[in-house]
């Protein structure tokens, strides 16, 4: 990525602790560029989800600075309704557990929520619902209550809810968790199509099998909550010692580049 392009996100010495004195992120320095699709990789508990939430403005660094779209992102700024509304339109967050995201009586109401918040007219809202449901293949589900859907269907509805706002950047937390193989395959293909449409996709995962398909850049978090490595999927997956060291593979794993498998 050209260094002339302004970064979308910049983190300078960012640390975070849920409990004082027990950091779950330590001194993270990062610059993320538009259309540079990123995977944050690390063992369970390494801090991936927290880093994703910091980038999305859902939690705020205990120390250090973050800027997004050229402006400093602080708790105070996000309390300004105009700033919050613009920021929320530009980024979408897909939670690991779709149930945390779905609360309306029907899928149609879920999909209407974001465009209504954006102040679109009734016709425009309906148009967004129809287009997005079609894109995700969930039109037959529109009148169903979300809580009665399967895990894969809920994931599609959660994605649709975020996409109705047409964000530039999509954050996904462990998106393949709990999905059957066919839905996982569909998801990876769908994310690739979003990237081709110009979205920036930032994904936290420990699922090595999806990384090469959805990322040009990988940041690896160590279990001590620091950045262990930053490179292309090829560079990261060529470094078996690194993957062992950060607990992403076991020494008996049959791991190979281009179809990562973890039998650990």
Residue ranges that bind ligand ADP, judged by CB under 6 A = 18, 24, 42, 44-50, 204
Minimum distance from residue 258 beta carbon to ligand ADP (Å)? 25
Give Cα separations from 185 to 41, 83, 177, 213 (angstroms).
Answer: 19, 36, 12, 10
Return the SS3 of 252: coil
Q: Which is nearer to ligand ADP, 125 or 211 (CB)?
A: 211
Could you tell me if 186 and 135 are in contact, meaning their C-beta atoms sit under 8 angstroms apart? no
Find, among 22, 9, 78, 59, the residue nearest to 219 by Cα: 9
3-state secondary structure of 219: strand
Nearer to ligand ADP, 169 or 220 (CB): 220
* 47/233 with CB nearer ligand ADP: 47
Minimum distance from residue 202 beta carbon to ligand ADP (Å): 13
- Decide whether 24 or 169 has the Cβ nearer to ligand ADP: 24
Give the shortest CB-221-to-ligand ADP separation in angstroms: 7
- Residue ranges of alpha helices (H) inside 107-259 are 107-117, 122-136, 151-163, 181-196, 211-214, 233-237, 240-245
Residue 176: DSSP 8-state: T
Percent helix, percent strand, percent coil in the chain, to nearest 5: 40, 25, 40
Q: Which residue's CB is nearer to ligand ADP, number 17 or number 116? A: 17
CB of 228 vs ligand ADP, minimal distance in Å: 13
* Euclidean distance between CA atoms 213 and 196, whole angstroms: 12
Q: What is the number of the residue whose Cβ is closest to ligand ADP?
A: 49
Q: Between 45 and 140, whose beta carbon lies closer to ligand ADP?
A: 45
Checking DSSP bridges between strand 71-72 and strand 63-68, what pairing results, if any?
A: antiparallel
Output 107 or 246, the one with its CB closest to ligand ADP.
246
Query: Nearest approach, Cβ of 46 to ligand ADP (angstroms)?
Result: 4
- Residue 152 C-beta: closest distance to ligand ADP, Å: 21
111 or 172: CB nearest ligand ADP: 172
Around Cβ 35, how many Cβ atoms within 10 Å? Answer: 15
Q: Strands 169-173 and 200-205: what pairing? A: parallel
Q: Smallest distance from the beta carbon of 180 to ligand ADP, in angstroms?
A: 22
At residue 154's C-alpha, the angle toward residues 106 and 83, to 5°, is 80
Q: How far is the CB of 77 from ligand ADP (least distance, A)?
A: 23
DSSP string covering 14-59: EEEEEETTEEEEEEEEEEE-TT--EEEEE-TTSSHHHHHHHHTTSS
């Amino acid at each position: 990525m050209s260094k002339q392009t302004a970064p979308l996100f910049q983190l300078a010495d960012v640390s975070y602790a849920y409990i004082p004195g027990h950091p779950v992120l330590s001194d993270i320095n990062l610059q993320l560029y538009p259309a540079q699709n990123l995977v944050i990789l690390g063992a369970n508990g390494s801090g991936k989800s927290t880093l994703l939430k910091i980038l999305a403005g859902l939690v705020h660094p205990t120390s250090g600075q973050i800027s997004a779209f050229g402006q400093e992102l602080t708790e105070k700024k996000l309390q300004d309704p105009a700033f919050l509304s613009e920021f929320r339109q530009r980024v979408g967050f897909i939670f690991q557990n779709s149930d945390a995201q779905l609360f309306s009586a029907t899928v149609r109401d879920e999909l209407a929520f974001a465009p209504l918040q954006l102040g679109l007219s009734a016709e425009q809202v309906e148009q967004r619902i129809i287009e997005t449901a079609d894109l995700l293949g969930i039109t037959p589900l529109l009148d169903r209550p979300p809580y009665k859907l399967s895990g894969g269907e809920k994931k599609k509805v959660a994605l649709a809810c975020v996409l109705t706002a047409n964000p530039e950047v999509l954050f996904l937390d462990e998106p393949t968790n709990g999905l059957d193989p066919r839905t996982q395959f569909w998801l990876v293909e769908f994310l690739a199509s979003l990237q081709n449409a110009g979205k920036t996709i930032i994904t936290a995962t420990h699922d090595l099998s999806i990384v090469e398909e959805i990322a040009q850049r990988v940041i690896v978090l160590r279990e001590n909550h620091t950045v262990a490595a930053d490179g292309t999927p090829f560079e990261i997956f060529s470094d078996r010692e690194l993957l062992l060291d950060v607990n992403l593979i076991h020494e008996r794993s049959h791991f190979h580049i281009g179809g990562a498998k973890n039998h650990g």
